[in-house]
Amino acid sequence: MPFQIRDTYAAARAVAYLMLAAGAYNLITGVLMKLGDPVSQLIAVGVASAAFLIVGVLCLRRPQSLPRAFWPVVPLLSAVVITGLNYATHDTTMGPQLFYLWPLLFSASFQSRRLVGATVAAISAGHALVAFTFAPETRHALNDSIAITVAMAMTAIVVTGLRERNDRLREVLEAQAASDSLTEVANRRAFDRELARAVSGPAPVALVMVDVDHFKNINDTWGHAAGDRALQAVAGALRDTGDGDRFVARLGGDEFAVLLRAGPAEALRYAEHARSEIAALDGLASGPPQLSIGVAVLPDHAQSAEDLQRVADAALYQAKQRGRGQSALAVTAA
């Protein structure tokens, strides 16, 4: 979303550190070191410093107490405050202008490009207001305004580009960490996370446990490359069978699991359909692999994630005991 803040926790820390540092800095340099200045100016800087310190403490200790709208607009507010302080002190020197870097870097690190652009515009407009009001020459003010705008825009482009590149790299790493490299379905870690999420949501949740029968014989007879192709074919069939959403994972070796939002009858139909699809496969040197499948549903057969896995495993074992190459539905919980 264009106006949604990224990583609110890190953003709150960034705001807190800035506000605490800015409050202390302005209190020392704007009040204590300028006690001979007009009283109204000292009061304005003092009030702003106190406000900075209060907001900094809130962001550090109780960030949830601040409204959600605060985080997207905080760079714009910071740019306005910096402009106000520079205007109040008639300061057009380079030092105070460096404080504009904070709202810029905050926006480029945590916000969308649209808000980054708005922040650059606010900084440019704020600096131009101070420069054209108090600079000794118009040409000097114009040069400063152009320099600040270009510098801020280039910094925003670089930081935003690096952030987006890091986001893409992180997404790739997260996908790799959650998927099985051979079959391109989810791995055990991702399955455990999805199972916990699924059982905490609306019922029913069906767990389909799948085991490739005599997989060791495929490897021993046809070679590991043929075994890999058989696993890939099974994963593809489980992923493509039927309609609706499903979560397919390889738990390890020749064992797969599928999560469905389905009742017992529908889940069993899915299992039988998947077995039929795999039995119809051709082009495998080892022939189509045979599957044993166990099906369990929450809340019909279990009341927790652990129970669901246990009863699905028991149903899978029952299918094997019956002669393999078939599906078994768990016994209804008493």
Task: For residue 245, indicate whether it is catalytic.
Answer: no
Counting beta carbons within 10 angstroms of the beta carbon of residue 170, is it exposed (0 to 12), middle (13 to 18) or buried (19 or more)?
A: exposed
Residue 211: strand pairing partners: 255, 292
Q: How is residue 210 written in tokens?
A: 């799948």
Report the amino acid identity of residue 302.
A
Among residues 18, 131, 1, the alpha carbon closest in space to that of 77 is found at 18
Cα distances (angstroms) measured from residue 69 to each of 10, 91, 124, 187: 16, 31, 23, 38
Q: How is residue 275 written in tokens?
A: 């077995």
Cα distances (angstroms) measured from residue 160 to each of 8, 97, 109: 17, 21, 7
Residue 250 · residue 180 · CB < 8 Å: yes
The catalytically annotated residue of 180, 254, 300, 313 is 254
Counting Cα atoms < 13 Å in the Cβ hemisphere of 101 gives 9
Strand order from edge to edge, sheet including 246-252: 246-252, 255-260, 205-212, 291-298, 327-329
Longest dimension (CA), the chain: 96
Query: What burial letters (b/e) apply to 260-288, b meaning 16+ CB within 10 Å?
Result: bbbebebbbebbeebbebbeeeeebebeb
Which residues are known catalytic residues? 254
